[in-house]
């Protein structure tokens, strides 16, 4: 049954992404540029509807009150990464357009990648780490100044439930450089949408949004250690089954 529902959900994504890609491409030609983003978000909402109805995955969100308010507010969102689910879900939760930092190869994915190419995102070449860092900071500062929030996964890749990776400092370097506060986010999505698994399972996934952390006068490494400590502690609180030793 889980396999059948997973196949049905994949078909739902494939069928809906084509018209929405065309809509994003059209909206990207019309000012303001944010129209294309909110058009894409509507597709994310359609996918999440299918995730709830077809897969039986419910979402619990904590900490909405911690998000900055106001059209001119800036924020760098730093989240752990367990599955594809949070990349689809988080844009539907945020009141501002988001700019993901991702590798350029994803732009080659038919339809999905084509629409991403028309959005104001930060594409990087991970083979040149120094140049990638410069690009993230330059483009990130520009986007933050125009009201777009930047979201990054400091561990760099999806990790299985209960595993801890190395937190890189690109996100906190951007926050310090731009003066934007950091919003730490802990996601426990792998319990229903495991990494590298086609079969999804019903259940409840939790997203916890942490209190704002000021970047003013901070050392990026020390700031990342604070972000890491909050995320790892929060993961153990919202998904204790994944950390039996704790």
User: What pLDDT tens digit does each residue of the chain (246 aa) get?
Assistant: 899 999 999 999 999 999 999 999 899 888 877 899 999 999 999 999 999 999 999 999 999 999 998 877 999 999 999 999 999 999 999 999 999 988 777 777 787 777 877 888 888 876 677 788 888 999 999 999 999 999 999 998 999 999 999 999 999 999 999 999 999 999 999 999 998 889 999 999 999 999 999 999 999 999 999 999 999 999 999 999 999 875
Tell me the residue ranges of DSSP E strands in the chain. Answer: 57-62, 76-79, 98-103, 122-124, 149-152, 182-188, 203-209
Residue that is written with structure tokens 């539907």 in the block = 92
Homologous superfamily of domain range 58-242: Glycerol-3-phosphate (1)-acyltransferase (3.40.1130.10)
User: Residue 179: which region, alpha, beta or left (left: phi > 0; alpha: psi -120 to 50)?
Assistant: left
Domain ranges in the chain? 58-242
């Amino acid at each position: 049954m889980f396999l059948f529902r997973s196949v049905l959900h994949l078909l739902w994504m494939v069928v809906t992404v084509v018209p929405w890609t065309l809509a994003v491409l059209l909206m990207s030609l019309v000012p303001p540029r944010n129209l294309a983003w909110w058009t894409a978000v509507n597709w994310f909402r359609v996918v999440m509807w299918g995730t709830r109805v077809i897969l039986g995955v419910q979402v619990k969100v904590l900490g909405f009150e911690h998000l900055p308010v106001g059209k001119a507010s800036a924020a760098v969102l730093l989240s752990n990464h367990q599955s594809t689910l949070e990349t689809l879900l988080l844009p539907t939760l945020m009141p501002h357009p988001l700019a993901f930092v991702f590798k350029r190869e994803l732009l080659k994915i038919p339809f999905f990648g084509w629409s991403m190419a028309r959005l104001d995102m930060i594409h990087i070449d991970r083979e040149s780490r120094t140049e990638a860092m410069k690009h993230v900071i330059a483009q990130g500062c520009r986007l933050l100044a125009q009201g777009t929030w930047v979201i990054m996964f400091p561990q760099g890749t999806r990790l299985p439930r209960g595993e801890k990776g190395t937190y890189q400092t690109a996100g906190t370097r951007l926050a310090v450089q731009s003066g934007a506060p950091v919003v730490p986010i802990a996601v426990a999505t792998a319990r229903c949408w495991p990494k590298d698994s086609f079969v999804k399972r019903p259940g409840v996934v939790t997203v916890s949004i942490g209190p704002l952390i000021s970047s003013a006068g901070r050392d990026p490494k020390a700031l990342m250690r604070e972000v890491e400590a909050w995320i790892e502690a929060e993961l153990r609180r919202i998904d204790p089954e994944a950390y039996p030793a704790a």
